[in-house]
């Protein structure tokens, strides 16, 4: 009998799983046509997710591990809990590395991260993480965590393969990002999360099984929305409104310095 993660990955979703992992944003990244500003917008949103929502989510998951003083040192429950804890500690260590990686990547490739407003889709994603956390159910949180990481693995593996087939071999911001989420270490990490979920031994037809299916469907939906679409890089700049206000205000003519600022924002 297939495990829960295999079952979830086989489900037909609306939107489809391919929309999350082969999104136009990812397709453009894979063939080298993704505008730098759209990449910067996405990276700014992923930084919010990674630096704010993800650590809180993992911390809540750790707090939900069902510890009990009656569990002996060598009991199955204690071994399982300690294993889950060790994986969650790795998650925290890794996300600290990733946040620094985002900053270094942005600096190296001149991708501004502080000029973007938070997207509604980012708020929706982090709000759902908060909702799962507040439920206090470790099983739900583990399934949600695996689902998030599984989508990222497949999405950036799609980009990595596209870069290779397109003959884009030089180092770029996108190639660095693709490598981060498609390398062997990340594959092993996602596999480890899958084993944690499967080891929960959730039975088909139970309420927990149905919640797992709902979580998977919701994560796919959130992931589709998390990729920016064409045009957002123009309307979501936090300094975009300033340029419009300066350009169109009627009570005075823009100063020379304001004209220079407007030109830089175009």
- Do 250 and 132 share a structural domain? no
- The CATH number of residue 140's host domain is 1.20.910.10
Structural domain containing residue 220: 4-229
- Do 136 and 258 share a structural domain? no
- Do 50 and 182 share a structural domain? yes
- Do 135 and 55 share a structural domain? yes
Q: Which residues pair with 116 in a beta bridge?
A: 237
- Do 185 and 65 share a structural domain? yes
Dist CA 18 CA 10 (whole Å) = 12
Q: Which residues pair with 237 in a beta bridge?
A: 116
- Do 214 and 189 share a structural domain? yes
Specify the pTM. 0.88
Residues 6+ apart with CB under 8 A from 7: 204
Element holding 56 (H helix, E strand): helix 54-64
Closest CA to 239 of 219, 258, 255, 220: 258
pLDDT (tens, 9 = 90+) of the chain, 266 residues, equals: 789 999 999 999 999 999 999 999 999 999 999 999 999 999 999 999 999 999 999 999 999 999 888 788 878 889 999 999 999 999 999 999 999 999 999 999 999 999 999 999 999 999 999 999 999 999 999 999 999 999 999 999 999 999 988 877 667 999 999 999 999 999 999 999 999 999 999 999 999 999 999 999 999 999 999 999 999 999 999 875 444 443 344 344 556 655 555 555 55
Give the pLDDT score at 68. 82
- Do 241 and 170 share a structural domain? no
- Do 240 and 212 share a structural domain? no
Closest CA to 26 of 155, 206, 168, 142: 155
| Longest CA pairwise span in the chain (Å) | 77
- Do 150 and 247 share a structural domain? no
Residues 6+ apart with CB under 8 A from 247: 254, 262
- Do 261 and 157 share a structural domain? no
CB atoms within 10 A of CB 78: 15
Kindly report the backbone phi and psi dihedral angles of residue 237, in degrees, each rounded to the nearest multiple of 5, phi listed first. -70, 130
Kindly report the backbone phi and psi dihedral angles of residue 79, in degrees, each rounded to the nearest multiple of 5, phi listed first. -65, -40
Dist CA 4 CA 181 (whole Å) = 23
- Do 217 and 113 share a structural domain? yes
HEC per residue, 100-140 = HHHHHHHHHCCCCCCCECCCHHHHHHHHHHHHHHHHCCHHH
Give the pLDDT score at 242. 45
For the chain, the domain total comes to 2
Closest CA to 198 of 237, 125, 235, 143: 143
CA dist 135 to 3, 110, 131, 173, 181, Å?
A: 24, 40, 6, 37, 29
- Do 74 and 43 share a structural domain? yes
CB atoms within 10 A of CB 231: 9
């Amino acid at each position: 009998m297939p495990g829960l993660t295999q079952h979830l990955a086989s489900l037909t979703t609306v939107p489809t799983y391919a929309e999350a992992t082969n999104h136009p944003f990812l397709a453009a990244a894979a063939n080298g046509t993704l505008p730098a500003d759209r990449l910067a917008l996405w990276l700014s949103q992923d930084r919010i997710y990674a630096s704010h929502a993800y650590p809180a989510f993992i911390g809540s998951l750790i707090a939900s591990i069902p510890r009990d003083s009656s569990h002996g040192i060598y009991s199955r429950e204690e071994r399982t809990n300690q294993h889950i804890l060790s994986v969650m500690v790795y998650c925290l260590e890794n996300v600290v590395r990733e946040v620094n990686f985002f900053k270094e990547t942005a600096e190296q490739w001149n991708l501004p991260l502080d000029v973007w407003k938070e997207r509604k889709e980012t708020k929706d994603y982090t709000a759902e993480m908060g909702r799962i956390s507040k439920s206090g159910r470790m099983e739900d949180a583990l399934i949600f965590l695996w689902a998030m990481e599984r989508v990222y693995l497949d999405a950036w593996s799609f980009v990595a393969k596209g870069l290779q087939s397109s003959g884009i071999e030089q180092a770029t911001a996108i190639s660095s990002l693709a490598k981060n989420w498609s390398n062997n270490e990340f594959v092993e990490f996602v596999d480890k999360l899958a084993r944690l979920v499967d080891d929960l031994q959730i039975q088909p037809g139970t309420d927990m099984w149905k919640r797992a299916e709902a979580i998977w469907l919701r994560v796919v939906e959130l992931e589709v929305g998390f990729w920016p679409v064409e045009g957002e890089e123009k309307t979501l700049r936090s300094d975009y409104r300033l340029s419009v206000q300066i350009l169109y205000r009627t009570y005075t003519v823009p100063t020379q310095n304001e004209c220079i600022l407007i030109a830089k924002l175009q």
